[in-house]
């Protein structure tokens, strides 16, 4: 039976990236949807990532008997701050009864795995929300040498960005001192452009759905390599069991 990592995903935008990755990696990535107002605004994001909503998502995933569960939302996790984000996934793990994490934690884990300490951030969020992500990364020891904010108010709008728009956003907001470029919104379609971006920028590109999937595999003790998903998947993780 294939390893199963359950994804709790907010609303609808770029969840179609999960079945594509699942087929590529030979795993199951069932998606449970929870719903909010779709705004990239602090009060709405705090509500979206509330224990009650995540518990509802975990309940939806029970039929799939997941090996791990991930809250597939960056802004709905880092908005709680480092301590709150840890408490959020600890509560999720308790209700899901399996290891759990979030996209924000996945970014931090991916940076540590790659040995990256200096990053640039190409964010779709409004400025105040993007700044909270920078603060979250800084608390984890990452130096953000450049940060851009596209000021897009809703996840639905982010999900409509075409590949050439995503590439333009990323290339325009890289920085020569950054060891990696981070694109933090799970609402953005990015998996298909990661190889081109890494080739053009000459560095790892970490995107929200990519790191979410990678983190889920780690939690489940599953090692997979898939160069099509970028540097993060290029080698079998040394800290995962074989």
- Residue whose tokens read 């200096």: 118
Q: Report the alpha-carbon distance of residue 175 to residue 182 in Å, rounded.
A: 11
**Residues 57-98 pLDDT 10s:** 999 999 999 999 999 999 999 999 999 999 999 999 999 999
Query: What's the sign of the alpha-carbon dihedral 196, 197, 200, 205?
Result: negative
Res 235: pLDDT:
63
Q: How many CB atoms lie within 10 A of CB 223?
A: 15
**Which is nearest to 173 in space by CA: 144, 142, 193?**
144
Q: What is the CATH number of domain 5-104+209-233?
A: 3.40.50.12500
**Residues 97-135 pLDDT 10s:** 999 999 999 999 999 999 999 999 998 888 899 999 999
Res 238: pLDDT:
43
More confident residue, 76 or 235: 76
**Residues 195-205 pLDDT 10s:** 999 999 999 99
Sheet holding 68-71, edge to edge: 31-34, 5-10, 68-71, 100-102
Choices 3.10.560.10, 2.60.40.10, 3.40.50.12500, 3.30.110.40: CATH for 107-208 = 3.40.50.12500
pTM of the model: 0.92
**Which is nearest to 77 in space by CA: 101, 99, 55, 110?**
101
Given this chain, do its domains 5-104+209-233 and 107-208 carry the same CATH topology? yes
∠ CA 96-235-121, nearest 5°, is 70
- What's the mean pLDDT when you consider all of the chain? 91
Sheet holding 205-207, edge to edge: 143-149, 118-123, 180-183, 205-207
**What is the residue extent of each domain of the chain?**
5-104+209-233, 107-208
Cα–Cα separations (whole angstroms), residue 111 to 97, 138, 179, 232: 27, 12, 10, 9
**Residues 179-217 pLDDT 10s:** 999 999 999 999 999 999 999 999 999 999 999 999 999
Answer yes or no: is pLDDT of 239 > 80: no
């Amino acid at each position: 039976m294939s390893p199963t990592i359950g994804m709790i995903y907010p609303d609808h935008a770029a969840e179609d990236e999960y079945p594509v990755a699942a087929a590529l990696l030979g795993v199951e990535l069932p998606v449970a949807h929870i719903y909010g107002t779709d705004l990239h605004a602090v009060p709405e994001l705090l509500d979206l990532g509330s224990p009650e909503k995540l518990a509802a998502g975990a309940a939806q995933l029970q039929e799939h008997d997941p090996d791990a569960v991930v809250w597939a939302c960056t802004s709905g996790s880092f908005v709680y701050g480092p301590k709150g984000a840890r408490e959020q996934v600890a509560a999720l793990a308790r209700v899901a009864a399996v290891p759990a994490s979030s996209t924000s934690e996945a970014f931090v884990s991916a940076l540590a795995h790659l040995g990256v300490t200096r990053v640039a951030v190409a964010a779709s969020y409004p400025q105040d929300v993007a700044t909270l992500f920078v603060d979250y990364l800084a608390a984890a020891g990452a130096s953000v040498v450049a940060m851009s904010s596209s000021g897009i108010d809703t996840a639905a709008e982010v999900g409509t960005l075409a590949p050439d728009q995503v590439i333009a956003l990323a290339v325009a907001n890289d920085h020569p001192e950054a060891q990696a470029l981070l694109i933090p919104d799970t609402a953005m379609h990015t998996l298909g452009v990661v190889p081109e971006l890494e080739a053009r920028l000459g560095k790892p590109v970490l995107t929200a759905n990519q790191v979410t999937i990678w983190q889920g595999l780690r939690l489940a003790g599953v090692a997979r390599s898939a160069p099509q998903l970028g540097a993060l998947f290029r080698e079998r993780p040394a800290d995962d069991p074989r």
